[in-house]
Structure 1
């Protein structure tokens, strides 16, 4: 029968062997475009992402409430049935950081995302679809916030 001490010793030996081969797991870090999240305008967001000028389209759907009673948790959704979508973005015009969410989309999944964002005040909300052929399409809706998400 193997004792705990022997098992720990063997585990340490296996870990040392994996470490010497460079096979130990590394800390996972999400890669994101920090310049895009720091942008204050839609033009700056598009420039940071290296895309063209967005064009309004009926093919992009934005799900957002007309009135958000609590700006701290505003449910937003974005979807499109167009083929070739590479990325979906949710932007809030009057937030300190306009870009609220960015989702990478592959052909294996539907281009339909939902999340909750924080809104400090009433503002236009944009759902943007970045297409594989370089087109940038968006939908916009005004969301009125009765209680700001920043405490007021």
Structure 2
């Protein structure tokens, strides 16, 4: 009988360790990215090149009741000609589990560099839009929002 009791105790301890590990993995402190993570993603996108403020206008509501569907509008000031156009736009959110929300690739045939979409925001945070131009330069715009009901609470 003692053998069964000790095996049960051993299994209970293993179960408790597993729950502690699982709890630490899904802890809100580890689920969300940090500003440093967002800055690292921006460095990876730009390859360490300087990012210039301007040309990019990012609009999100300053106060959002529900982070599940946040309207995001962005535009980049560009003539979108063969010699001068926006190659890509990267949207980065410092508080989401994965900071790089989405990337859009454009060509001169796109006509304009205007995008309206909906995104999920995990928490109150700053969101950046980084535009890579055809000449290799990077421009940025940002917006800050306060989210009262967070989205993205699970790791994907």
Band of TM-score, shorter chain: 0.5 to 0.7
Show the counterpart of 1:18: none
Show the counterpart of 1:12: none
CA-CA distance at 1:50 after TM superposition: 3.7
Structure with more contact order per residue of length (Cα contacts < 8 Å, sep ≥ 6)? 2
- When the two structures are superposed, what TM-score results if normalisation uses the length of structure 2? 0.65
Of 65, 76, 79, which residue of structure 1 is paired with 2:61?
65
Does the CA contact (< 8 Å) of 2:38 and 2:92 recur in 1?
Answer: no
Residue 101 (1) aligns with residue 102 (2): yes
Go from structure 1 to structure 2 and tell me whether the alpha carbon gap of 1:150 and 1:86 turns closer, same or farther (over 3 Å shift): closer
Q: Mean alpha-carbon deviation: is it higher for 47-56 or for 106-115?
A: 47-56
Of 96, 113, 116, which residue of structure 1 is paired with 2:115?
113
Show the counterpart of 1:143: 145
What is the total number of aligned residue pairs between the two structures?
112
Unaligned runs of 5+ in 1: 1-38
Unaligned runs of 5+ in 2: 1-35, 80-84
Does the CA contact (< 8 Å) of 1:40 and 1:96 recur in 2?
Answer: no
Indicate the RMSD between aligned Cα atoms, in angstroms: 1.9
Between Structure 1 and Structure 2, the one with more helix by share is 2
CA-CA distance at 1:150 after TM superposition: 3.7
Q: State the 4+ residue runs in structure 1 displaced beyond 2 angstroms.
A: 39-46, 48-51
The 5-angstrom pairing of residues 3-152 of structure 1 reads 40-48=37-45, 50=47, 52-57=49-54, 59-83=55-79, 84-109=85-110, 110-150=112-152
CA shift digits 1:80-109 (9 cap, x unpaired): 122321001111111111110100011011
